[in-house]
């Protein structure tokens, strides 16, 4: 698999400290090693999570609270990725899952390729610092800069999802592994912050063009022993963007929190076109 040019869709090749296409469109690598392939119009804007949220997520995940998910996703990728296969992590964030998955693949596969994209420049920058050996790019999951039918396994963990783009880039008989929150995920956290909390709605698991071949659940509890950790967890959720100032202030008084974690891991196989 190769990244493709976001301007003309031609294949990009490495040349010194940049990647270029045959039409001479060029994209420089950052100091940490990623490349920005986000297709934007007009003035540059901040996309995705910023530095504060990325630091919060890194602190929380490095605390091991989601290690059970990290382990299970890694096992599934090792199981379903063929020898010499290519992984594309769509919404790779700061690399917590990518680092462990690639480590496990190194133990089990003689050769593989691992790519990741995220719309947040700060996330990808942090991801490169964690996973210096991976190919990461700033890009949108709604405009994935890779060639058609070039990916053996596409991974999406709590990330926005575009079925059309996944169908385009995954090879026939390739795999899609998706992680979603289940009904009671972080229910204890919601109850501590909101007067009228709501449970997650789990949508239909069917995806056109894919067959669901395996699914698993992780249902457990985690205990947070500091206010900083509680705030870190809240800051890495979608609630961070939607919560009123008065509800957000409730976090200041929480020094200890027990909450449910519930993950669904879904494995799909793409139909042969």
pLDDT digits (tens, 9 = 90+) for 5-37: 999 999 999 988 999 999 999 999 999 999 999
At residue 203, the pLDDT reads: 81
Report the CATH number of the 47-270 domain: 3.40.50.150
Are 50 and 122 within 8 A, CB to CB? yes
Q: What residues are paired with 259 via a beta bridge?
A: 222
What is the C-alpha to C-alpha distance for residues 261 and 183, in angstroms, rounded to an integer?
A: 10
Residue 63: is it exposed, middle or buried by C-beta count within 10 angstroms (0-12/13-18/19+)? middle
Q: Please state the rounded mean pLDDT for residues 149-155.
A: 97
pTM of full prediction above 0.85: yes
pLDDT, tens digit, for every residue of 228-268? 999 999 988 888 878 888 888 999 999 999 999 999 999 99
Q: Is the pLDDT of residue 189 over 80?
A: yes
At residue 273, the pLDDT reads: 66
At residue 42, the pLDDT reads: 45
Q: Please state the rounded mean pLDDT for residues 52-79.
A: 96
Share the mean pLDDT of the chain.
92
**3-state DSSP call for residue 125?**
helix
Are 251 and 233 within 8 A, CB to CB? no
Q: Is the pLDDT of residue 98 over 60?
A: yes
User: What are the Cα distances from residue 247, in Å, to 191, 240, 242, 272?
Assistant: 11, 10, 10, 49
Q: Please state the rounded mean pLDDT for residues 125-141.
A: 92
The count of residues in the chain is 273
Q: Please state the rounded mean pLDDT for residues 212-224.
A: 97
Which pairing describes strands 18-20 and 13-15: parallel, antiparallel, or unpaired?
A: antiparallel
Q: Please state the rounded mean pLDDT for residues 38-45.
A: 60
Q: Which residue has the higher pLDDT, 192 or 240?
A: 192
At residue 43, the pLDDT reads: 43
Q: Is the pLDDT of residue 152 over 90?
A: yes
At residue 51, the pLDDT reads: 87
């Amino acid at each position: 698999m190769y990244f493709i040019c976001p301007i003309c869709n031609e294949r990009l090749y490495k040349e010194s400290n940049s990647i270029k296409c045959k039409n001479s469109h060029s994209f420089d690598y950052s100091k940490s090693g990623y490349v920005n392939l986000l297709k934007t119009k007009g003035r540059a804007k901040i996309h995705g999570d910023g530095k504060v949220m990325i630091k919060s997520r890194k602190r929380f995940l490095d605390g091991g609270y989601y290690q059970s998910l990290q382990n299970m996703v890694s096992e599934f990728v090792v199981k379903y990725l063929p020898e010499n296969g290519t992984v594309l992590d769509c919404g790779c964030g700061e690399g917590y899952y990518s680092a462990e998955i690639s480590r496990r693949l190194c133990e089990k596969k003689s050769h593989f390729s691992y790519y990741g994209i995220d719309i947040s420049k700060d996330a990808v920058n942090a991801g490169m610092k964690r996973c210096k050996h991976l190919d990461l790019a700033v890009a949108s999951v709604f405009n994935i800069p890779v060639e058609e039918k070039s990916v053996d396994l596409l991974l999406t963990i709590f990330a926005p999802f575009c079925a059309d783009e996944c169908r385009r880039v995954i090879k026939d008989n390739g795999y899609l592994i998706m992680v979603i929150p289940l009904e009671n995920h972080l229910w204890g956290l919601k109850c501590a912050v909101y007067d009228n909390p709501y449970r997650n709605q789990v949508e239909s698991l069917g995806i056109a063009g894919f067959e669901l071949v395996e699914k698993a659940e992780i249902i457990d509890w985690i205990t947070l022993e500091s206010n900083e950790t509680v705030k870190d967890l809240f800051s890495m959720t979608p609630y961070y963007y939607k919560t009123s100032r008065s509800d957000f202030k409730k976090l200041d008084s929480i020094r200890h929190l027990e909450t449910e974690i519930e993950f669904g891991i879904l494995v799909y196989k793409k139909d042969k076109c």
